[in-house]
Amino acid sequence: MSTAHNAMTLYAVPSIPMIEPGDDLAQILVMALDAAGLPLQDGDLLVLAQKIVSKAEGRYVYLNGVEPSAEAITLAASCDKDPRHMEVLLGESQAVLRQRPGVVIVEHKLGYVHANAGIDRSNIAYDPENPRLLLLPENPDASAKALRAALYVKTGIQANIIINDSAGRAWRNGTVGFAIATAGFDALENRIGERDLFGRALEVTEVAVADELAAAASFMMGQGDEAIPLVLIRGANLRSSAAGSASLIRDREKDMFR
């Protein structure tokens, strides 16, 4: 049976400072939540923008230290990119799936299919003499699990965690938030075998719970200069699980877009 969701509240949490490598992210989040009058409660879900996790983990690459390969130079010429940037992208990818000027769609080494391997230049300090890129966390699910454990030590609350990013979709315009990591809850709810309103058995229905919640939080975070990398979701009534987010990634043999 599904869990009823009669009400759910999302809070954009302000006062998150600019994150630097080595920062105690759990402590920063607790302080921001307390300052906003939103101390953690049982069942709460925290959705964090990937950037602040990557920044805390020091996932920067400085382009002046990158030597592009012949493959990166060829790719850069076809999509009008810096060859050094393409070398970093290739290092983060299992395969290049599509390309056109300005965009490269890849299968990330972590399994996600999205543009530019999740590598970002927005909302990070820029030095034209030595530009840098920000990569996804090395192991996002491990990062989410560690953050959940650290929050429990500091608050005694077993919070649920999503680390989200934004991506386009093969059949729709615009970007949406999606979960690159989860901790504490079932990211994909299997409804197969349950009944619809007329008693028919559901045959293929699976609900990407983590992605739906990540998209809602991303709407509140914004995509520009809003500086809201943390959203608290209260009332989601999530199913407990230690499985992480791997179930959200479709197997290659079932993916009609690859």
Beta strands in the chain, from DSSP E residues, in sequence order: 9-12, 45-49, 60-62, 93-100, 103-108, 113-115, 132-134, 160-169, 172-185, 189-190, 206-207, 230-234, 240-241
Overall average pLDDT of the 96-117 stretch = 90
CA–CA separation, 92 and 140 (whole Å): 14
SS3 content of the chain, % helix, strand, coil (to 5): 30, 25, 45
Please determine, for residue 136, whether its predicted confidence score (pLDDT) is greater than 80: yes
pLDDT top residue among 55 and 168: 55
Report the range of poorest mean pLDDT among 50-59, 60-69, 107-116.
107-116
In tens, the pLDDT along 199-243 reads 564 444 578 899 999 999 999 998 655 679 999 999 999 999 999
The answer to whether 175 touches 137, Cβ cutoff 8 Å, is no
Q: Give 60-134's CATH code, choosing from 3.40.50.720, 1.10.3720.10, 3.40.50.300, 3.90.1660.10.
A: 3.90.1660.10
| DSSP labels, 11-40 | EE---PPPP-TT--HHHHHHHHHHHTT---
**Region 79-108 average pLDDT:** 93
- Cα separation, 118 vs 136, in Å, equals 6
When mean pLDDT is compared across 43-52, 65-74, 191-200, 203-212, the lowest value belongs to 191-200
Instruction: Pull the structure tokens for residue 105.
Output: 């769609």
What pLDDT shows up at residue 258? 67
Q: Tell me the CATH number for domain 9-58+138-254.
A: 3.30.1330.100
Averaged confidence pLDDT in the chain: 88
Average pLDDT over residues 10-31: 95
Mean pLDDT of the region 244-249: 90
Give the separation between CA 24 and CA 11, rounded to whole angstroms.
22
Q: Break the chain into its structural domains and give their ranges.
A: 9-58+138-254, 60-134
Report phi then psi at 43, rounded to 5.
90, -5
* Dist CA 91 CA 213 (whole Å): 30
Contacts of 38 (CB under 8 A, 6+ apart): 11, 13, 232
Beta bridge partners of 189: 207
Q: Cα(92)–Cα(106) distance, rounded to whole angstroms?
A: 9
